[in-house]
């Protein structure tokens, strides 16, 4: 499996626009892409070409091969020059790379930090109500813990149940008992 940087067609009929994507070489042209690196619209005058330079260089460094058309567009955007210069530079020391990674992660964490919920402060009346709640809860628990006498059906209730059977089967049993 090799990765390709190539164009994927989007847009309406006769209104072609393209995405610059990273995809497996065996995937269909407009199939599932691993990453979208930019877009290209040849119909505008002048053409529109936007590419995420940093991500594209990272994919190129990881071994993704651009198609001929994609290579030409990346060269026009200036990405290929940046990639070539990054290949010629000596690699950073491990400490420098680790420090750079930490700063990037910290910046990303600040951007994606979830909103914090702020609880309102309690008023004086709310504190006394909160203090009463545990006392009430223990009193109710004590009442529930006390044994309740078993509820007995009255004799008239039993008589009514015997007099009015709910189904024909129960009626026949009641008639057999009499």
Burial of 27 by CB count in 10 Å (0-12 exposed, 13-18 middle, 19+ buried)?
Answer: middle
Are the C-beta atoms of residues 35 and 18 closer than 8 Å to each other? no
pLDDT in tens, 142-159: 556 555 555 555 555 555
> What is the DSSP secondary structure assignment for residue 146, as one 8-state letter?
S
Place 7 in a pLDDT band, splitting at 50, 70 and 90.
very high
Domain at 3-90, CATH class: alpha beta
Place 133 in a pLDDT band, splitting at 50, 70 and 90.
low
Q: Global pTM?
A: 0.50
Mean pLDDT of 7-36: 91
Assess whether the previous peptide bond of 46 is cis (omega < 30° from 0): yes
Place 98 in a pLDDT band, splitting at 50, 70 and 90.
confident
More confident residue, 43 or 30: 43
pLDDT in tens, 50-86: 999 999 999 999 899 999 999 999 999 999 998 988 8
* E-assigned strand segments in 11-132: 17-24, 35-41, 48-51, 65-66
Interatomic CA distance for residues 89 and 60, integer angstroms: 15
Interatomic CA distance for residues 48 and 128, integer angstroms: 66
């Amino acid at each position: 499996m090799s990765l390709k940087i190539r164009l994927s067609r989007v847009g309406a009929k006769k209104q072609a626009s393209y995405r610059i994507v990273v995809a497996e070489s065996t995937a269909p042209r407009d199939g599932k892409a691993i990453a979208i690196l930019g877009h290209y619209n040849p119909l505008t005058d002048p053409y529109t070409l936007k590419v995420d330079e940093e991500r594209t260089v990272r994919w190129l460094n990881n071994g993704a091969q651009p198609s001929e058309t994609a290579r030409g567009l990346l060269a026009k955007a200036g990405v290929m020059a940046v990639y070539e210069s990054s290949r010629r530079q000596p690699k950073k020391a491990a400490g420098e790379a680790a420090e750079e990674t930490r700063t990037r992660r910290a910046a990303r964490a600040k951007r994606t930090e979830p909103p914090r919920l702020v609880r309102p402060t309690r008023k004086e009346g709310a504190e006394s109500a909160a203090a009463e709640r545990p006392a009430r809860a223990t009193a109710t628990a004590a009442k529930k813990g006390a044994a309740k006498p078993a509820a007995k059906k009255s004799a008239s209730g039993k008589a009514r149940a015997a007099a009015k059977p709910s189904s024909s089967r129960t009626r026949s049993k009641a008639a057999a008992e009499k």
